[in-house]
Structure 1
């Protein structure tokens, strides 16, 4: 059931990572953001206003690509953590004369309900201990007929490293990532319509195990409840490097890791009243239903 997902994220560890994540955009996030931005070619209607959910981690360059695609749109940035919010303001606020002119204007802070025609979230959802609560925020931010674009990691991510840890009898190196079909079910459960899910696998090659571990530290932390319960010593670290070098290095001399990337797109439909002996409909929902009927 969608309410049981994700089963292997420790909420305390997820909250700790949310606070501790570096205020920088990892290379992989930028690359995924570039690929997701290209998918906007499929969308014929340009949003008049759109929100970027946590762009500092999601990709500042990817954010600018979307800005360039919709230069007249109003932009809203959602960055809950103060350190990353400060970076977002520094990097994304734009020139003062653009702010006065209104073109490319960037707002910060909470999003007014029903005020966005697009919500953009790049490489965020897989680290959330309560993804349905995040989807609820997205749904509330969108206007009727607005759309969601998001990406996240899928279950084949780090399959080489997972197999290595299993062979050595160690706990998993990371939590299990949700399948794209389950994301689609969650979207429908959260009130979205016409979800379209897609996935691809990206393989990254590293010259040394040290460089591989440095990249993984930038991407995230191990949120699995069954992870090692304490710090490990130098001997364990040396063995990890040795085993990665011995088991994961390919014929080309590179150490390769797989990352499965899931892309999702969905619409916010007009609300429907639940029919019963007594039916209550909010004024805003009634207005939306009436507008939908006229069109």
Structure 2
């Protein structure tokens, strides 16, 4: 086997001892290999195979995810920049990331639960998805830094003038009754937060990001193979081990890249009445294809009374598939126009 890349990593333990390891990539007769090697104190080697196959792309996804996991455990590489982590960590966004990190480690759980309950009530009254009101990250920030005036609330990432005007008074009504030990502005976070704890948090975020990218890559590969084999959505759901919604969203991305998904779409829409399909298409023509909910409301009723709750997911699924056809048709019309 020819080794094409290797890096040495070390990790300090609670004592003066230092754990040493290597991550390596090799190639042999068209097969790529990726592995991790622990170098034990007595000189013995403990090898773990992370990947063996022909796909360089899949190897890279596994490499990034596995390496981020090891860095999160405290390993540090001899060769820096192995996935440009230093550029990201030292960027201007580092200060904001530290605010997020501290808030996840020091949030008031009771306050966070109360804010989540407020967000649910607001979302129901405004008929919006909860994340349109406030993201989980923002509620964590609020529950850690406990702003007691709107101007303090606006010092948190993700709070602009519009959000402060719409929801600021209600949020402050919840937080103002609580005591806090820190002050604004939040510059103290940057010195109080331990650098190693912050680095471990950053690499944990990377691990989650690369795990998601790896999952998406594998779903995409399985979908392409399954579509060529003539499989239906139920079979693809079993092969991918993912919810149908994620599979249909992946189909939209494949269509954007130029892959032909029409055979699968035709199969899945065969039991949808033609007049219903025409109504969805007409709604896209009138309302545009950016949002699905207005189309659902136009076709099935403003309050969704005509759609049983257990059928809403199926309706959205079919609307998404018709949107694929609609966008393809619009793209063809533009190209020949």
Fold match, TM over 0.5? Answer: no
More helix by share: 2
TM-score norm. by structure 2 comes to: 0.23
